[in-house]
Structure 1
Amino acid sequence: MSEPPVSPRRGGTAPGAGMLLVAAPALLDPNFADTVVLLLDVNDEGALGVVLNRPSPVPVAEVLPEWGPVASEPEVLFRGGPVGPDGALAVVLVGGPSDDPAGRVGFREVADGVGLVDLDTPIELVAEGLAALRVFAGYAGWGAGQLDEEIAEGSWYVVPGEPHDAFHPDTGGLWREVLRRQPDELAWTSTRPADPGLN
């Protein structure tokens, strides 16, 4: 007996740290419509991630002066999600293939050299080998089972992430770019018009 086809809504993959959640057209919540979320932590208690494509007008240097010079373009704070908007998370990309992220002070790897850096760490201990950095105000969070329910109801596509996704300079085009590189029906979804009424 053959296996049933994998639902394109899930992207064929279970959510996990380093994966991306791409908002499906059916997701109309203004906090998440047309967003791409990088999952930073997924366990039995829930999930946590940051929205990658919601830049704010506030320069990083205005809020965290020492981190402004190493922030990736655009050098602004990003709206990471509706939870804890007064807090900040820094997502970074470190080193090359020979780099050992585990030995870095204040760094916790999520996947493939992408991870979180503690903003209280002196910048000189972190700056060497830092390939990219983005600072997020707030984050997206889900309680136990909540994200699985949202995926099952068709709100999110779960797809593999690539290291550069979190630091993409064209945040307005990230949603389409991530979907375009997916197989089959998901790639077609990237071509939908911004106004579905034009379809």
Structure 2
Amino acid sequence: MSSNLMPGTLLIADPFLKDPNFARTVVLLCEHQEEQGSFGFVINKLFEQTLSELIPDISLPNIPVYFGGPVQLDTIHFVHELPHLIEGSMQLRPGIHWGGRFDQVVTLINSGQIDPGKIKFFIGYSGWNTGQLQQELKEKSWILSEGNARLIFKEAEQDIWKVSLRNMGQDFAMMANFPIDPSLN
């Protein structure tokens, strides 16, 4: 089970996961180390401020920022499809890269050289201590899937959770329509 936990893996929240930080979310796993823990970013939870509101050096308005998770909400992170433009990034999966030189990103955005649809910014991140994510997998809090660039960069954030489940086949597609609270059914 934990052998599937590699960079670029998607953690799709079980339909009945109640944690308000992760209910109906999809997390892009960026790093997993058995002895040190794991971290990634919620890719489908829009933050209330734009990038230019958080980083005054950004001149292009309306670039969305996503709530990456509840850890270190004073940090900005990014994933992108632009390794040829952004130095120092790490490939998570084909077409999905994490990080790189932020000063370079600011310059490229301000000069119009970056398509905002090919980069996604996050405030904070999702983190798990040693063994914590493995325990959550045993409890069936998460469904594992492979990440893909189309889902991360092209799909509307409100559709990512449902599309992620549907992409996994018929058995999981039914889960996409489960009510948030089955007792209200």
Give the % identical residues: 31
Verify: 1:118 aligned to 2:100, yes or no: yes
Question: Which residue of structure 1 aligns with residue 121 of structure 2?
Answer: 135
> How far 1:76 moved relative to its partner?
1.9
* Equivalent residues of 2:86, 2:104 under 8 A apart: no
AA aligned to 1:109 is Q
How big is each residue's C-alpha offset from its partner over 1:148-192, in whole Å with a ceiling of 9 and x where there is no partner? Answer: 110011100011111122224521111111101112421221121
Contact residue 5 and residue 32 of structure 2 kept, 8 A: yes
The CA distance in 2 between the partners of 1:78 and 1:197, in whole Å, is 30
2:81 maps to a residue whose letter is L
- Deviations, residues 39-69 of structure 1 (Å, cap 9, x unaligned): 0111222111000111012111122245563
| Counterpart mapping for 1:42-191 below 5 A | 42-44=32-34, 45-67=36-58, 69=60, 75-94=63-82, 101=83, 104-118=86-100, 120-123=102-105, 124=107, 132-191=118-177
- Root-mean-square deviation (CA), in Å? 2.6
Give distance in 2, aligned partners of 1:53 and 1:88. Answer: 16
Matched, 1:32 2:22: yes
TM-score by length of 2: 0.83
How far apart are the structure 1 equivalents of 2:104 and 2:145? 34
The number of residues matched between the two structures is 179
Q: Which amino acid aligns with 1:114?
A: I
Q: Secondary structure at the match of 1:30?
A: coil
In structure 2, the partner of 1:6 is none
Cα distance in 1 for partners of 2:96, 2:113 equals: 15
Segment drifting more, 114-123 vs 173-182: 114-123
Amino acid corresponding to residue 106 of structure 1 in structure 2? G
Report the CA distance shift for 1:180/1:171 in structure 2 as closer, same or farther (over 3 A). Answer: same
Tell whether the 8 Å contact from 1:109 to 1:116 is kept in structure 2 after alignment.
yes
SS class of match (2:173): helix
Give the TM-score normalised by the residue count of structure 1. Answer: 0.78
Q: Structure 2 stretches of 5 or more lacking a match?
A: none
Q: Does the 8 Å CA contact 2:86/2:101 hold for their aligned counterparts?
A: no
Segments of 5+ residues of structure 1 without an aligned counterpart are 1-9, 95-100
Q: Indicate if the aligned counterparts of 1:56 and 1:79 stay in contact, CA closer than 8 A.
A: yes
- Cα distance change of structure 1 residues 26 and 61 upon mapping to structure 2, 3 Å threshold: same
Structure 1 distance, partners of 2:58, 2:171, is 40
Distance 2:30 2:160 in 1: 18
* Structure number having the greater helix percentage: 2
Aligned letter for 1:92? H
